[in-house]
Amino acid sequence: MLFARSAMEDELLETYSHWINGAYHEPSGREWMDTMDPYSGQAWAKIPLGVAADADLAVSAAKQAMTSGSWASMSATQRGKIMRRIGDLTLQHADRLAELEVRDNGKLLAEMRGAINNVAEIWYYYAGLADKIQGAVMPIEKSGMIGLTQREPIGVVLALTAWNAPLNFLALKCAPALAAGCAVVVKPSEFSSVSSLFFASLTQEAGLPDGVLNVVTGLGQSIGAPLVEHPDVAMITFTGSDTTGAKVYEAAARHMKRVALELGGKSPNIVFADADLDLAVAGAVSGIFGGGGQMCTAGSRLLVQNSILESFTDRLVSSARSIKLGDPMDPTTQMGPMSTTPQYHKVLEYIDIAHQDGARCVLGGKPASGPGIQGGQFVEPTIFVDVSNAMRIAREEVFGPVLSVIGFEDEAQAIAIANETPYGLAAGVWTRDTGRVFRMAKALEVGTVWGNTYRTYSYMMPFGGMKKSGIGREMGIEAVEEFLETKSVMISIADATPQNNFIPR
């Protein structure tokens, strides 16, 4: 967003540069763009408006690091040691990193501070995995032959990240990629790039060779697309919307590049009448209003068994009504602003659409105003009832604090409604019946199922989507697989030329 301001005001803004090959680089075109504080509604820093020439520089630094630098010949154990130091430095700078995230994305400081601790844990986890990546000796049927597999880094990785949790995404992509021996170019969201630019220099302090991790910024079209098309990028790991994800997927397909896509969702949070309803109310509220609903896993469709629909909705409304909106830096604030101006308008538009389609608003439904929240782009916690699963509010991702409540009769109907969506990211099931939790976990077409909890993540548990929610998995040991190629090596140890080893292929 551009604001009219004097040259003096302009100079007061913090100015950041790309991080390429172990040093800060001004953008090739010498152009910067504003980054905005969603709470004050004002620009607070400037980031490089990168172009294709910057993409070239970053990719060539990464390629060089992978092919001829010390990274290429470094032992996996040493890679792990450096990654552990990245975790240590993350903790040492946690306050600063959390503050930078909040200035850019408006999430609660307390939440982002906790998230930074988790970022350090992600680096430690993958540091430990770096020297446990193993090939195998295969018992092949050929006599006089040895067959073995080697696991090799796929090549230069492009990491495209979304605006809601930049350093978390950076760690979830870069830590397994580095454990696998790859070099990375990160392009964070133009709405929240500062923390990634600052973080990059810590990796150098940790001893990461120059060029192994580069961060370039700017708009998706101007620098993201040239990065995706770059011939020396072997793989793209992307977190963002399914619309952009599809574009990245199409471009990658033209070059046969591997992709991992972490996309959006319309996740069902399903409450049965036999659940602990106190826990379920708390889980439903934090499932949609935590982070202002700006989470890929937002439990935006609340499915409630008809026998408790009315009473549960009343309890939900009264709990959500008490959510305190305000300054994300204030520890008493429970919900901050919408992170970006386009997102703010999109959320309000979806509220209009829900009204037009016949849903009934029982809480919120408009921009929030009042003391302490005048400058920012706040939306009231909003709850719609009388929602049918066919309405747009139940089918399309809003990415804001808007909940649709839908009734269901029994388990079979809950599963049918839950699965009747183009997305498949996550689901919550609230019930005291353990057998039902397992049955639902099997039947739900999603990457993650939570039983009697919601938004519980572990870097040890693979995470990703089915259907339009994505391809591939982050977190857990599986994430490293995304960044590895398997090479088969067959060697003859026979004295003479082996017979009958040739099969047409």
User: Contact residues for ligand NAD (CB under 6 A)?
Assistant: 160-164, 187-190, 220-221, 224-225, 228, 239-241, 244, 247-248, 262-265, 296, 397, 399, 425, 465, 470
- Pairwise CA distance, residues 380 & 404, whole Å: 14
In whole angstroms, the minimum distance from the beta carbon of 423 to ligand NAD comes to: 9
In whole angstroms, the minimum distance from the beta carbon of 434 to ligand NAD comes to: 28
Q: Which is nearer to ligand NAD, 313 or 421 (CB)?
A: 421
Distances from the Cα of 203 to the Cαs of 60, 90, 125, 206, in angstroms?
Answer: 19, 9, 16, 5
Q: Which is nearer to ligand NAD, 149 or 286 (CB)?
A: 286
Q: Would you give the distance in Å from CA 121 to the centre of its chain?
A: 16
In whole angstroms, the minimum distance from the beta carbon of 439 to ligand NAD comes to: 25
Specify whether the backbone of 158 is left (phi greater than 0), alpha (psi in -120 to 50) or beta: beta
Q: Which is nearer to ligand NAD, 211 or 464 (CB)?
A: 464
Q: What are phi and psi of 43, to 5 degrees?
A: -65, 140
Residue 478 catalytic? no
Catalytic-labelled residue, pool 174, 182, 190, 296: 296
291 CB burial (10 A radius; 0-12, 13-18, 19+): buried
Token code pair at residue 342: 């386009």
Q: Which is nearer to ligand NAD, 148 or 225 (CB)?
A: 225
Residue 411 catalytic? no
In whole angstroms, the minimum distance from the beta carbon of 445 to ligand NAD comes to: 15
Token code pair at residue 182: 């790859």
In whole angstroms, the minimum distance from the beta carbon of 340 to ligand NAD comes to: 7
- Pairwise CA distance, residues 341 & 285, whole Å: 24
- Pairwise CA distance, residues 339 & 332, whole Å: 19
- Pairwise CA distance, residues 437 & 45, whole Å: 47
In whole angstroms, the minimum distance from the beta carbon of 236 to ligand NAD comes to: 8
For the chain, how many residues are written?
505
Residues 6+ apart with CB under 8 A from 265: 296, 297, 298, 300, 397, 423, 424, 425, 426, 465, 469
341 CB burial (10 A radius; 0-12, 13-18, 19+): middle
Token code pair at residue 6: 């004097």
Nearest to 392, CA basis, from 368, 357, 434: 357
Catalytic-labelled residue, pool 262, 411, 474, 482: 262
Active site residues: 262, 296
